[in-house]
Chain A
Amino acid sequence: MKDFIIPQFPPGDDRDMGTKIGTGAPVSLVIDGIAVTVPAGTSVMRAAAEAGVDVPKLCASDNIEAFGSCRLCVVQIDGRRGTPASCTTPVAEGMVVHTQSEKLRKLRRGVMELYISDHPLDCLTCSANGDCELQDAAGAVGLRDVRYEAPVGGRLDNHFARRNGAEVNALYIPKDDSNPYFSYDPAKCIVCSRCVRACEEVQGTFALTIEGRGFDSRVSAGAIGDDFLTSDCVSCGACVQACPTATLQEKSVIELGTPQRSIITTCAYCGVGCSFKAELNGDQLVRMVPYKHGKANRGHSCVKGRFAYGYAKHKDRILNPMIRNSIDEPWREVGWDEAMAFAASRIATFRSIMAASPSASSPPAAAPMRKPIWCRN
């Protein structure tokens, strides 16, 4: 039996736990035979994630409220009818949950088959290849076949083909490249609303909505006639980060390919000090993703840290500590040890001057108050 869980994330572990964790009194339940205790108000999905059980999901993400729209995360609960969505079902004491059964597998495959029937099958040339939750989910549910096809002489309604035979596909919406940092390609959208909710709940800008209803539902920025650039969007990138597919994608990823390694770092701009995951290919920075366990920013950031990282490779970028004795001297690059020792000695000097001074509020004019070290890393 697992004890009460206080989430612990080793550095770099930014697994998506599906939903936020509750705040109530401890509740114990059993998921796929694993006993787990979580605070009341936690979803079954989150409890499963805490117990190490991954329930397939597409519309849930742990920095936004559960939505219950993709229907992949269905589970069975002893004594309850049907197949509730685990992301919107709160845990209850003594609950016995099953995340795998023939019925659930069939249902998930059925949902996945529908998704893929309205999705272009161009994974190999897609900018999210290898970094796509839709791809992962199709694999996890074991989708092997899409049986939907057009009736003879008719068409299979879809959003991805420019043309339906000889006709122009009225449902096809071309890519919106207006934003300098990311593009929106409706052909790949699964309408999970994660972007809309991220813009509302994470960023608070309300730039996005879903327009139309039913099969016509599409993500829309601003009012009719707006594109991303003319909308209220502030280019924070929260929507791009939330998107499980290549629909909202950083242009840098489209250009440079999927990043292969990452480093946790701090934004070089302002005093908020947002944590980022700098994602790279070799020494080529591909994108900066706000780090979800960063204490200052909790997975969100502003446009500067997110996209304006051109400084990373700028020739004037300061990469090593520099010191100088006074402002009329040029900066001198030194190692960290020397820099720290220098700073320590200057602070000590300053302290003794202050102690001797009759008024602590008026340090001598020559006091070394100006930044003795310059460094950003």
Chain B
Amino acid sequence: MKIYVPMDSAAKALGADEVARAILQHAGARGLDVQMIRNGSYGMIWLEPLVEVDLGQGQGRQAYGPVTPADVPALLEGKLQSLGPVQEIPFLAGQTRLTFARCGVIDPLDLDDYEAHGGLVGVKRAIAMGARDILQEVVDSGLRGRGGAGFPTGIKWKTVADADAAQKYIVCNADEGDSGTFADRMIIEGDPFSLIEGMAIAGIGVGATRGYVYLRSEYPDAIRVLTDAVDIARARGLLGPNVLGSPHAFDIEVRTGAGAYVCGEETALLNSLEGKRGTVRAKPPLPALEGFMGKPTVVNNVISLATIPVIFEKGAGHYADFGLGRSRGTVTLQIAGNIKHGGLYETAFGVTLGQVVNEIGGGTASGRPVKAVQVGGPLGAYMPVEKFDTPIGYEEFDQQGGLIGHAGLVVFDDTADMLHMARFAMEFCAVESCGKCTPCRIGAVRGVETIDRIAQGDTAAIELLTDLCDTMRDGSLCALGGFTPYPVMSALTHFPDDFATQKEAAE
């Protein structure tokens, strides 16, 4: 029998390794013939460790979860209550899995398994198409950067392709620092070849022969899986001087970050990659023209790049058919915070915020009413329940003063103190600021102090905080200082009561 136990770090944090050990122990003791596969996670975190058992009798993979080591004897005896086939669990059944189609399904480091599930079809098609058509395909797919800014990926690639330079680079941004996000980590741990294949297609498309993955040091499992996957890809000819026998050379190096949120900002990332201080560079020049080592460079998020293979496998039209308005394809929502069913949910753009929180996520874990949802990481606005009709889409969120960012959602119930959350946003900015520009370097520290004054009932400080947010928003060099005003001002605007209570108490 085959038993699948995830090696995803979220599953491991919930005891997957202990469960795997117990399975091998018990199976050994009973002389059972168990083939254990450490797969990725499907992203239903409340069910982790989610174990699947395939008895090889035609019923397919039966899911169990959350499994504890104490459940293992019953699991092996077939006495544990099953969740049924994993694909039929409503949370998974309701999804449109394009980027994450293989995540959880396959053995992450088995290239044959990868190929058996649609892998490498995309890169082969891309090689046959040639560079011009590759770029057009990406443009036609409507794919926009999933790292934060939502910039059209095809346009970025074209800029790099059109730049005249002897050397170009593909840099994958795997710094994933946003609070409540984990899609990058999950795909790297669960389906690393999709990222490698995506980067290879990018390299062929723009004429880059070298790629770097800037992976955060806080992800030791992802570093290990991706490093192994790169070695396997090289050994099997997916990477190297002739990608899958083509005349295109492409290779990848995995580099580890040192742990600064701002190094996820693309220019700070490039500085860090070059071995310099991780400070933001003024733009222009765009990284697409003067990036890594001053050469034209594609900087893309993990999800942007890992979505490329399925676009080439199924065609740009297939991908672009999903979505809403100018937000095409699928969004890999990461539902976190105070939520009953947290995890990764891939679906077409257009689902409303309320549906995601209440229907898909099942409301708060505490059972109390939702107060606010922070969408798009620490720089995203706090969306109040009144904005729950907003569809998930770049423009749609922008119009509501929010942002999609990396599509992480952190849910708060009515016990959340929004003044405290605003203070935290400023504090986060102060701690993570690279220190280059004045509005952020000094402004974030002043922001914390000013919010403390508001908490003490100093109403004059509210106007000062508003002015400070204007200065930071319009004056900052990068989005760290520039977007910190969004959580702060959304908290102040939507939850004024939280900014007045202290005053009333004092009076």
Contacts and interface: CB of A to CB of B under 8 A. Distances in A.
Interface of A: 66-71, 74, 82-83, 85, 88-90, 103, 106-107, 110-111, 113-115, 117-118, 147-152, 154, 156-157, 190-191, 193, 209-210, 212-217
B453 interface: yes
Contacts of A149: 453
A71 B474 CA distance: 9
B479 to A, nearest CB: 12
A190 B442 CA distance: 10
Given A69-B477, A191-B435, A110 B471 contact: yes
Interface stretch (B101-109, B152-160, B231-239, B426-434): B426-434
A148 B283 CA distance: 31
Given A68-B282, A68-B477, A216-B435, A114 B442 contact: yes
Given A68-B477, A150-B449, A107 B441 contact: no
Contact of A111 (B283, B430, B456, B471): B471
Main secondary structure of the interface of B (DSSP, over half): helix
B433 A215 contact: yes
Nearest to A119: B442
Given A114-B438, A117-B442, 20 more contacts: A68-B282, A68-B437, A69-B437, A74-B474, A82-B474, A83-B474, A83-B475, A88-B283, A107-B474, A110-B439, A110-B471, A111-B471, A118-B442, A149-B453, A190-B438, A193-B436, A213-B278, A214-B432, A215-B433, A217-B436
B464 A71 contact: no
Contacts of B443: 114
- Which of the listed residues B262, B436, B445 has the most CB atoms from chain A within 10 Å of its own CB? B436
11 contacts: A69-B477, A88-B284, A90-B284, A106-B467, A110-B467, A114-B438, A114-B468, A213-B435, A215-B433, A215-B441, A217-B436
A154 B449 CA distance: 8
Nearest to B450: A148
Contacts of B430: 214-215
Contacts of A69: 282, 436-438, 477
Interface string B401-434: 0000000000000000000000000000011111
A110 B469 CA distance: 10
A369 to B, nearest CB: 52
B314 interface: no
A184 to B, nearest CB: 18
A157 B449 contact: yes
B211 to A, nearest CB: 28
B277 interface: yes
B442 A106 contact: no
Contact of A214 (B277, B434, B450, B475): B434
Report the 4 A-B pairs with minimum CB-CB distance, sorted nearest first: A110-B471, A68-B282, A217-B435, A214-B433
A215 B481 CA distance: 13
Range of interface residues on chain B?
35 or more
Given A107-B471, A217-B435, A151 B449 contact: yes
A71 B468 CA distance: 14
A216 B438 CA distance: 12
Nearest to A151: B452
Given A70-B438, A90-B284, A106 B470 contact: yes
Contacts of A157: 445, 449
Contacts of B440: 214
B164 to A, nearest CB: 16
Contacts of A115: 438, 442
Contacts of A70: 437-438
B464 A215 contact: no
B439 A213 contact: no
- Which of the listed residues A115, A156, A191 has the most CB atoms from chain B within 10 Å of its own CB? A191
Nearest to A214: B433
A213 B262 CA distance: 10
A69 B435 CA distance: 9
Contacts of B255: none
Nearest to A147: B464
A272 to B, nearest CB: 31
A152 B441 CA distance: 23
B274 to A, nearest CB: 14
B313 to A, nearest CB: 37
A151 B468 CA distance: 16
B490 interface: no
B446 interface: yes
Contacts of A66: 282
Given A68-B477, A148-B464, A209-B277, A214 B471 contact: no
Contacts of B282: 66-69, 85, 88
